[in-house]
């Protein structure tokens, strides 16, 4: 992809903005690690060190050491800051962009159904500068990132509260590989909205392992009242990043080729696995545990998605399409 | 330690001068006269003539305004002459965030929000972690990151479009038109057009722009990955207003993929196998535009995006049958034939 815009030259206003941002965030960052602060500030570590140096040259008249900002990095690569007496001890007002981010995130996280979050966001709104709040509200009207819940609202409610309370669920679940609905007890560890769908992560007592269930394939879910113990150290984000796809893509190597609009979809779906071919198509290789589970996904991409291998998957896709076609004879 | 004599004052970089000026005006109880500013704030040169310092100050004030820092101009007395003159200060109430006291549960909820959503990479959430850290620290608290069990996680994976997302966001906030090249679904060649963006949203892993299309007229929707922004970012000439009756919320609320598009509306009827009927209802049962008949296991909908509808239906394989309209039914069968051919 061509770069959209040439990198702009850094102006003194940009530098001032970053230095002021850093100054205004001093109370919030003292003791944080340098790479993390740099990432959040949108600068490189080198630039951050330069900003800290700039800031250390500034302060109040008569510009004696006690009247200057004191920003330094300790041996553990953590940033520390001290400001001249009384100055910037509180964070500066939320900027319009920060207010906007909070409003949008609050809306997006409404699915998490946390009353404490709603009250915290209300307090922040009340503390915001009215003009900035107004600007953020206006900008938020033009932006939407909230995940869709569709007809799943009641189900997601049951699952998220069971998960928060560590209560087992009795779940009726449709397994495409068996083509039928089965009933099982699940210990729900959490809910993940992953790009375009809601997933339930939990220990399946029927299979004796941690499984990922698609919420839209749950016919019904009921809290049993029986408590369970979450495995110590289980972290949903770590699971999503390191385990989730590993778990479902295990033994059978699959190669798909995508053309046209589906190639963009494939790049978004498998950003690390998608390889561009010379003819503009995109190839993806992964491992599946059951070929039957991915037939629907492949079909839904239409003729722009082709199975390269294994041949059994080609056959499965062809026979599923033939079965569907028989309805139209 | 920095002494005034360390380097010639004219060499003091502008960012340092602007920072010194900001904290100086912030700390002033009484508005500072220009004479005081030029003689006390490091970065101005009291040996230079008043007018050139004044020009520099006017530019600095503009720069600060661009950074959301408002310097107030009020009357003050020049301590040297005793005469009334213009004075400047920054109001701490405007500058600082108010103290907010949060409960433990609120600190935890905010920390979760920042930790989980701030890293999604969605451009509009870039400042979220700062916002959360600032809010929490305004009450003298530290964020509770890492000390809680996460049970709901949102992962948007907004792809490579963040530069475009930012460009569109800027265009919306500055109300300036974009020149774009758009590749409509099923076409390879893009067509150029002007678009006044009214809104931007993320659905099912894709960003969409809604705005007035100068090629077709009226409000249209564009998928961000299908458009290229031409000639830099913003159209220099075209400023616009978002119509008062435009509501993004209404525009994107509860829509199925087949409802995003600009094709001629088609009333579609679909029959499901018993194992799939409830799945269709799980997905779209909340839509007013869709109806379900339990007895015949049929679903009725209105489609303006056949490709999206077919994609959804194909996922059910033989579990769903497109009953009507007949031309769509025939086209769907042709798609199935093509898939079989490809697999053969």
Q: Are residues B241 and B278 in the same domain?
A: no
Report the alpha-carbon distance of residue B167 to residue A172 in Å, rounded. Answer: 46
Of B199, B219, B252, the one marking the end of a domain is B252
Report the alpha-carbon distance of residue A175 to residue A181 in Å, rounded. Answer: 6
Sole residue written with tokens 């400023």: B239
ipTM: 0.71
Report the alpha-carbon distance of residue B236 to residue B174 in Å, rounded. Answer: 11
Q: Which of A272, A297, A215, A212 minimizes the C-alpha distance to A247?
A: A212
Q: Which of B274, B272, B270 minimizes the C-alpha distance to B301?
A: B270
Instruction: Tell me how many domains chain B contains.
Output: 3
CB contact under 8 A, B160 and A267: yes
Report the alpha-carbon distance of residue B328 to residue A272 in Å, rounded. Answer: 36
CB contact under 8 A, A322 and B340: yes
Cβ–Cβ under 8 Å, residues A175 and A166 = no
CB contact under 8 A, B252 and A164: no
Phi and psi based region of residue A144 (left: phi greater than 0; alpha: psi -120 to 50; beta: remaining): beta
Average model confidence (pLDDT) across chain A:
83
Cβ–Cβ under 8 Å, residues B138 and B174 = no
Report the alpha-carbon distance of residue B49 to residue B56 in Å, rounded. Answer: 11
Q: Are residues B175 and B238 in the same domain?
A: yes
Report the share of chain A in percent with pLDDT over 70: 90
Cβ–Cβ under 8 Å, residues B270 and B299 = yes
249-278 in chain B: CB under 8 A from chain A: 249, 252, 254, 275, 278
> If you average pLDDT over residues A191-204, what whole number do you get?
89
Weakest-pLDDT range from A13-17, A41-45, A64-68, B155-159: B155-159
Residues of chain B below pLDDT 50: 1-9
Fold of A13-82: Arc Repressor Mutant, subunit A (1.10.10)
CA angle B95, B98, B102 (to 5 degrees): 150
pLDDT at B1: 35
CB contact under 8 A, B315 and A60: no
| b/e code A250-279 from CB counts within 10 Å (16+ = b) | eebebebbbbbbbbbbbbbbbeebbeeeee
Of B75, B95, B115, the one marking the end of a domain is B95
Residue B59's domain is classified under what CATH number?
1.10.10
Q: Which of B306, B316, B324 minimizes the C-alpha distance to B258?
A: B306
CB contact under 8 A, B102 and A271: no
Of B221, B252, B283, the one marking the end of a domain is B252
pLDDT at B9: 44
pLDDT at A22: 76
Q: Are residues B245 and B276 in the same domain?
A: no
Out of B105, B122, B126, name the one closest to residue A145 (CB): B122
Out of A23, A216, A297, name the one closest to residue B283 (CB): A216
A290 to chain B, minimum CA–CA distance in Å?
Answer: 16
pLDDT at B339: 95
Residue A49 scores a pLDDT above 60: yes
Residue A157 scores a pLDDT above 60: yes
Cβ–Cβ under 8 Å, residues B157 and A268 = yes
Name the packing angle between helices A311-326 and A292-300 (round to 10°): 60
Report the alpha-carbon distance of residue B340 to residue A188 in Å, rounded. Answer: 39
CB contact under 8 A, B200 and A68: no
Q: What is the CA B107 to chain-centroid distance, rounded?
A: 25
Domain membership of residue B85 as a residue range: 9-95
Residue A319 scores a pLDDT above 80: yes
Name the packing angle between helices B128-138 and A34-41 (round to 10°): 110
**What does the block give as tokens for B262?**
């600009």
The segment(s) of chain A belonging to CATH 1.10.10 are 13-82
- Chain A residues with CB under 8 Å of B203 CB are 148
Give a yes or no: residue B45 inside a domain: yes
Weakest-pLDDT range from A13-22, A33-42, A282-291, B57-66: A13-22
pTM of the model: 0.69
Q: Which of B72, B336, B7 minimizes the C-alpha distance to A322?
A: B336
Report the share of chain A in percent with pLDDT over 90: 26
Weakest-pLDDT range from A61-65, A289-293, B22-26: A289-293
Weakest-pLDDT range from A48-62, A91-105, A188-202, B169-183: A91-105
Report the alpha-carbon distance of residue B21 to residue B60 in Å, rounded. Answer: 9
CB contact under 8 A, B248 and A143: yes
Give a yes or no: residue B104 inside a domain: no
pLDDT at B188: 62
Q: pLDDT higher for A310 or B2?
A: A310
**A-B C-beta contacts closer than 8 Å:** 388
Q: Are residues B308 and B264 in the same domain?
A: yes
**What does the block give as tokens for A78?**
């953590």
Non-local CB neighbours of B74 within 8 Å, separated by 6+ positions:
B31, B86, B87, B88, B89
- Three-state secondary structure along chain B? CCCCCCCCHHHCCHHHHHHHHHHHHHHCCCCEEHHHHHHHCECECCCCCHHHHHHHHHHHHHHHHHCCCCCEEEEEECCCCCCEEEEEECCHHHHECCCCCCCHHHHHHHHHHHHHHCCCCCHHHCCHHHHHHHHHHHCCCCCCCCCCCCCEEEECCCCCCHHHHHHHHHHHHHCEEEEEEECCCCCCCCEEEEEEEEEEEEECCEEEEEEEECCCCCEEEEEHHHEEEEEEEEEEEEECCCCCCCCHHHHHCCCCHHHCCCCCCEEEEEEECHHHHHHHHHHHCCCCCCEEECCCCEEEEEECCHHHHHHHHHCCHHHEEEEECHHHHHHHHHHHHHHHHHHC
Q: Measured between CB atoms, does B81 come within 8 Å of chain A?
A: no
| Interface probe, candidates B3, B99, B122, B124, chain A, greatest A C-beta count within 10 A | B124
Cβ–Cβ under 8 Å, residues B214 and B193 = yes
Q: pLDDT higher for B232 or A101?
A: A101
The segment(s) of chain A belonging to CATH 3.30.70 are 252-326
Q: Are residues B240 and B288 in the same domain?
A: no
Give a yes or no: residue B112 inside a domain: no
- Chain B residues with CB under 8 Å of A128 CB are 97
CB contact under 8 A, A142 and B200: yes
pLDDT at A243: 83
Give a yes or no: residue B212 inside a domain: yes
pLDDT band at residue A300 using 50, 70 and 90 as cut-offs: very high
Please give the CATH number for the structural domain made up of A252-326. Answer: 3.30.70
Cβ–Cβ under 8 Å, residues B152 and A116 = no
pLDDT at B44: 92
> Could you read off the pLDDT of A180-194 as tens digits, one per residue?
899 999 999 998 888
Give a yes or no: residue B141 inside a domain: no
pLDDT at B7: 42
Sole residue written with tokens 């798909």: A256
pLDDT at B310: 96
Q: Are residues B246 and B282 in the same domain?
A: no
Q: Which of B124, B195, B113 minimizes the C-alpha distance to B161?
A: B124
pLDDT at A250: 64
């Amino acid at each position: 992809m061509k770069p959209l815009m040439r990198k702009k030259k850094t102006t003194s206003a940009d530098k001032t903005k970053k230095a002021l941002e850093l100054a205004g965030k001093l109370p919030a960052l003292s003791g944080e690690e340098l790479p993390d602060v740099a990432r959040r500030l949108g600068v490189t570590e080198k630039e951050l060190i330069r900003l800290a140096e700039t800031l250390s040259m500034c302060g109040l008249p008569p510009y004696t050491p006690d009247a200057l900002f004191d920003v330094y990095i300790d041996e553990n690569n953590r940033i520390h800051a001290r400001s001249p007496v009384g100055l910037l001890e509180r964070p500066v007002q939320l900027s319009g962009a920060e207010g906007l981010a909070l409003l949008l995130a609050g809306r997006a996280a409404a699915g998490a159904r946390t009353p404490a979050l709603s009250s915290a966001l209300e307090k922040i709104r009340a503390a915001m500068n009215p003009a900035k709040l107004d600007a953020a509200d206006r900008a938020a009207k033009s932006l939407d990132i909230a995940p869709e819940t569709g007809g799943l609202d009641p189900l997601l409610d049951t699952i998220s509260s069971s998960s928060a309370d560590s209560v087992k669920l009795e779940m009726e679940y449709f397994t495409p590989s068996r083509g039928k609905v089965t009933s099982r007890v699940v210990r729900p560890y959490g809910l993940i909205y992953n790009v375009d769908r809601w997933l339930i992560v939990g220990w399946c007592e029927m299979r004796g392992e941690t499984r990922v269930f698609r919420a839209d394939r749950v016919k019904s879910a009921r809290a049993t009242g029986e408590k369970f113990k979450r495995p110590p150290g289980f972290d949903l984000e770590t699971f999503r990043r390191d385990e989730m796809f590993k778990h479902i893509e295990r033994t059978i190597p699959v190669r798909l080729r995508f053309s046209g609009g589906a190639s963009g979809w494939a790049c978004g779906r498998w950003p690390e696995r998608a390889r561009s071919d010379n003819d503009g198509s995109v190839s993806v290789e992964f491992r599946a545990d059951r070929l039957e589970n991915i037939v629907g996904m492949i079909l839904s991409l239409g003729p722009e998605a082709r199975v390269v291998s294994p041949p059994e998957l080609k056959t499965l896709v062809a026979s599923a399409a033939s079965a569907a076609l028989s309805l139209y004879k | 330690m920095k002494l005034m004599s360390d380097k010639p004052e004219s060499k003091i970089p502008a960012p340092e001068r602007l920072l010194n000026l900001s904290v100086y005006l912030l700390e002033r109880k009484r508005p500072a006269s220009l004479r005081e500013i030029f003689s006390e704030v490091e970065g101005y040169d009291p040996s230079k003539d008043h007018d050139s310092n004044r020009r520099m100050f006017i530019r600095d004030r503009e720069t600060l305004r661009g950074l959301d820092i408002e310097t107030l101009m009020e009357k003050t007395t020049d301590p040297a002459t005793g005469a009334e003159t213009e004075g400047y200060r920054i109001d701490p109430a405007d500058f600082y965030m108010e103290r907010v006291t949060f409960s433990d549960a609120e600190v935890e909820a905010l920390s979760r929000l920042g930790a989980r959503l701030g890293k999604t990479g969605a451009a509009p959430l870039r400042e979220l972690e700062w916002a959360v850290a600032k809010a929490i620290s305004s009450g003298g608290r530290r964020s509770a990151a890492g000390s809680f069990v996460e049970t709901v996680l949102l992962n948007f994976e907004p792809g490579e479009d963040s530069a475009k997302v930012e460009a569109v966001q800027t265009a919306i906030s500055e109300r300036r038109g974009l020149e774009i090249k758009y590749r409509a679904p099923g076409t390879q060649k893009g067509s150029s057009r002007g678009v006044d963006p009214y809104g931007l949203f993320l659905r099912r892993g894709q960003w969409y722009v809604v705005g007035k299309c100068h090629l077709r007229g009226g409000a249209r929707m564009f998928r961000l990955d299908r458009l290229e922004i031409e000639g830099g970012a913003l159209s220099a000439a075209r400023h616009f207003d978002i119509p008062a009756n435009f509501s993004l919320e209404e525009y994107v609320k509860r829509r199925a993929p087949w409802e995003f598009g600009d094709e001629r509306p088609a009333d579609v009827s679909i029959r499901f196998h018993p194992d799939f009927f409830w799945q269709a209802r799980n997905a779209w049962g909340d839509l007013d535009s869709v109806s379900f008949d339990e007895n015949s296991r049929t679903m009725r909908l209105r489609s303006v995006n056949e490709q999206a509808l077919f994609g959804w239906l194909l996922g059910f394989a033989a579990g769903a049958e497109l009953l009507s309209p007949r031309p769509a039914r025939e086209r769907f069968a042709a798609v199935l034939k093509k898939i079989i051919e490809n697999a053969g």
